[in-house]
Amino acid sequence: MEILSRMRRTAAVLGLCAALVAVPAAAAAEPAAPKTPRTPGIPVVTTEQVMPHLRALQSIADRTGGNRAHGTKGFQQSLAYVKGVLDKAGFRTGLRPFTHNGVVGHNLIADWPGGDPDHVVLVGAHLDSVEAGPGMNDNGSGSAAVLATAVAMSRAGVAPKRHLRFAWWGAEEQGLIGSKDYVRKLSAAGREKIDVYLNFDMTGSRNVQQWLVVHDDPRATDAFEAYFAAKGLPTFDIGIGGSDHESFGDAGIPVSGFNTGVGDCLHDACDRIDNVDPETETLSTNAILGVTWQLATR
């Protein structure tokens, strides 16, 4: 356990992602053909409500030198894009600065007005890429999925019982820097108020075998398992580690979330938009939306 934990920590410092250090022991059977999930009362997003966000991030990388890493124009413009969409959708947004390697980075926090402020459901993804490429599956996909979820919540006029907060982290690839900074700056009372943190890091992998679900917070974990089971999609349990949920888990905050596994283009120049499967990305977004809706409104 100690060795595994250290491996995960090392992997995180190197900027590796969860699935790399939690690879399923055996490949599962091919998943059933994905269907658009429909649950009464819960909104559903289409591919064309998710993929435009990824296209925007790809185009930012294309015009700023090929990546969206900490300290680059590509990251700054990614931040401005996501913030602009959220501001238009009625969220209260704020940038939380931190300094890493002598360069100022930012987390972006977006609060949906209302809900019990003592019971927060926090949903996040890292927005930075490595320097080697544009980071479309890692983690434009998670960033776009969380953004499309937030927009869908706004369109549906959600009135959650718990307070709903979304976050996009900076400098994850440098060692979970942004999320650690956010958690470190919370008071003890502030930590207590976060009922659960849900993390999404790589949600549109090509040739997805299984949805790798982070098993920690029982209610969230069960909700994801039930969601995928109802669609006939295979899941595999993974522990905490390798992405931003580790910063929360280390502070005793319950976590969950999922990823869709690692492809050949991880941390490479070929992690472009064509490295993201639109159908998988849409399915993942609807899983995030469905489970977040359940957790926030019930």
Minimal distance, residue 197 CB to Zn ion, in Å: 16
Minimal distance, residue 285 CB to Zn ion, in Å: 17
Query: 167 is written with which tokens?
Result: 């976050």
Residues that bind Zn ion (CB under 5 A): 17, 138-139, 201
Residues contacting residue 120 through CB under 8 Å, at least 6 positions apart: 162, 163, 164, 165, 193, 194, 195
Minimal distance, residue 212 CB to Zn ion, in Å: 13
Q: Other C-beta atoms within 10 Å of 251: how many?
A: 16
Q: What Å distances lie between residue 96 and 59, 108, 146, 190, 205, CA to CA?
A: 25, 6, 18, 15, 29
Q: Closer to Zn ion by CB, 112 or 169: give it.
A: 169
d(CA 277, CA 298): 32
Phi, psi of 79 (to 5 degrees): -60, -45
Radius of gyration of the chain from its Cα atoms, rounded to whole angstroms: 17
Minimal distance, residue 94 CB to Zn ion, in Å: 23
Please report how many Cα atoms fall inside a 13 Å half-sphere around the Cα of residue 149, on the Cβ side. Answer: 35
d(CA 147, CA 149): 5
Minimal distance, residue 298 CB to Zn ion, in Å: 30
Burial class (CB in 10 A: 0-12, 13-18, 19+), 278: middle
Q: Closer to Zn ion by CB, 61 or 158: give it.
A: 61
Q: Which residues are catalytic?
A: 172
**DSSP-H helix ranges across 19-89:** 51-63, 73-88
Q: Closer to Zn ion by CB, 179 or 210: give it.
A: 179
Q: What Å distances lie between residue 44 and 23, 70, 152, 211, 284, CA to CA?
A: 30, 32, 8, 19, 11
Minimal distance, residue 126 CB to Zn ion, in Å: 6
Looking at the DSSP assignment, which residues form a beta bridge with residue 26? none
